[in-house]
A = this chain, B = another copy of it.
Amino acid sequence: MCERRGPARMELSDSWSAGSVAAVLPAGGSGERLGAARPKQFCALQGRPLVSHTARALERISWISDIIVVVSLEHIETMKSIIQKYGHKRITVVEGGVTRHRSIFNGLKIFAENKLSNCPLQKPEVVIIHDAVRPFIEEDILLKVVKAAKDHGAAGAIRPLVSTVVASSADGCLDHSLERARYRASEMPQAFLFDIIYQAYHQCNDYDLDYGTECLHLALKYCKTKAKLIEGSPDLWKVTYKRDLYAAESIIKDNLSQQVCVITDMKGDDVQVGFLLHETLKSHIKVKRISVSLCKDDNYMQNIILGQCYNFICMHVKKSAFQETQQLVDILENANVSTLYPVVLISVHLNVSENASFSSEMEDLTRIKEFAREVKKKNILVYGLLIHYNKGSKDLQGLGYLIQHCSTEKRHRYQNGTRSVKEGTTI
């Protein structure tokens, strides 16, 4: 799946066997602070509901076996249709309670009370509790929190306070202010040894369940477990107000323009080219690499597209760059992804032979150029590249640079709100 930088991927396989980490995602909030018609977790950001963005972020992580999304009764069908529409695979929908704590408790019961729920989910060693409205969760922080939970019984992400915290007296005047440096904001994700948090929920009283919000507090109060606090990144913030939806949408747009799917359908020695391009690009942007013949497997591509790898580089050796390009555009059109923002598609025609006919290659590129002009009306920006590739060379930096440039230009277009499009460039 999506390649990720940093050491996280290296470490995790040593630490847990499959099936020992699960996640509970309370998504039952009413969104009253947002002031919108629907709860914020169901608001669409770039055409996809917020809860689906968050679920996808968790699903990308292979060592999380099950994701329990807890929603209020009235939103169960909505959530099920989201799972179907966006192709979520490891999600179980559970009915929530009237408060956050009651919802989380319901989510945990699914593992512990198999007989009650007729659910074959395996009880995890560690359970992550996250929020449906924190979509920018990365593997590295999850790994840190889960490891710390295994060592300490409980762990949670924290952030420095942005504002000073004050206490008021009964007359609404300042009683005292807290020294900002000594306190932290408790954010998500949090993680617990399953038995600890489940026991804490079992022991806590109705007041806790109705008025409390902090899981770390329950673990401390009922299980004497002092959670390890882990400094997290600013991205962990919670979408609370309308302005946060604006911010989340802009970040998603920004991320999309930095995400590329490299598609190759090459055999033998030529496979190396795809690998080299991937290596060159991955230090700049997030790259997913797949090897597939576009003509054969539409479903597979549809799933990739729904997974939101929204820029594409399609590499061909030999003939028919045009046909493959057209095929991918058809898939993009069917998936409707280009309705809201431009999709960049770079069709790279590699010439590895030294005797190729220049005129026939140019003919193919001219067809792509005309095709590009036509599909740009559909918000799909096609670029055609012809490259004479020397097999001896390990260096595709020139191509990497060019492709990065295209991606940056796309982002720039967003920011300006304009739509200047170049079609069919050749090098």
Contacts and interface: CB of A to CB of B under 8 A. Distances in A.
Interface stretch (A85-93, A157-165, A277-285): A157-165
Interface residues of A, number: 61
A293 interface: no
Interface stretch (A178-186, A265-273, A324-332): A178-186
A417 B165 contact: no
B180 A163 contact: no
A334 interface: no
Interface string A132-172: 00000000000000000000101010110111111111001
**Count of identical protomers in the assembly:** 2
A240 interface: yes
A217 B185 contact: no
B158 A184 contact: no
A187 B163 CA distance: 7
Interface stretch (A21-29, A245-253, A294-302): A245-253
A416 interface: yes
Nearest to A35: B234
Q: Which of A152, A177, A242 has the most CB of B within 10 A?
A: A177
Contacts of A363: none
Interface in A217-233: 217, 220, 226-229
A241 interface: yes
Contacts of A214: 164, 166, 177, 180
B177 A216 contact: yes
A116 interface: no
A169 B340 contact: no
A336 to B, nearest CB: 13
Nearest to A250: B246
A234 B33 contact: yes
- Of A158, A186, A243, the most chain B CB neighbours within 10 A belong to A243
A238 interface: yes
Looking at A33, A182, A244, A251, which has the most chain B CB atoms within 10 Å of its CB?
A244
A183 B248 CA distance: 27
A240 B160 CA distance: 12
Nearest to A254: B246
Nearest to A235: B243
A197 B158 CA distance: 33
A306 B341 CA distance: 30
A15 B228 CA distance: 53
Interface string A251-263: 1000000000000
A389 interface: no
A419 interface: yes
Contacts of A161: 165
A184 B183 CA distance: 13
Contacts of A10: none
A227 to B, nearest CB: 4
A162 B238 contact: yes
A371 interface: no
A183 to B, nearest CB: 5
A413 to B, nearest CB: 9
Contacts of A291: none
A420 to B, nearest CB: 12
Contact of A229 (B174, B234, B417): B174
11 contacts: A158-B166, A163-B238, A164-B214, A166-B186, A167-B182, A172-B228, A180-B214, A243-B244, A246-B250, A250-B250, A417-B417
Given A237-B243, A249-B250, 10 more contacts: A163-B187, A166-B184, A166-B216, A167-B182, A174-B220, A174-B228, A177-B214, A177-B216, A243-B251, A246-B246
The 3 closest A-B pairs by CB, nearest first: A246-B250, A243-B247, A163-B185
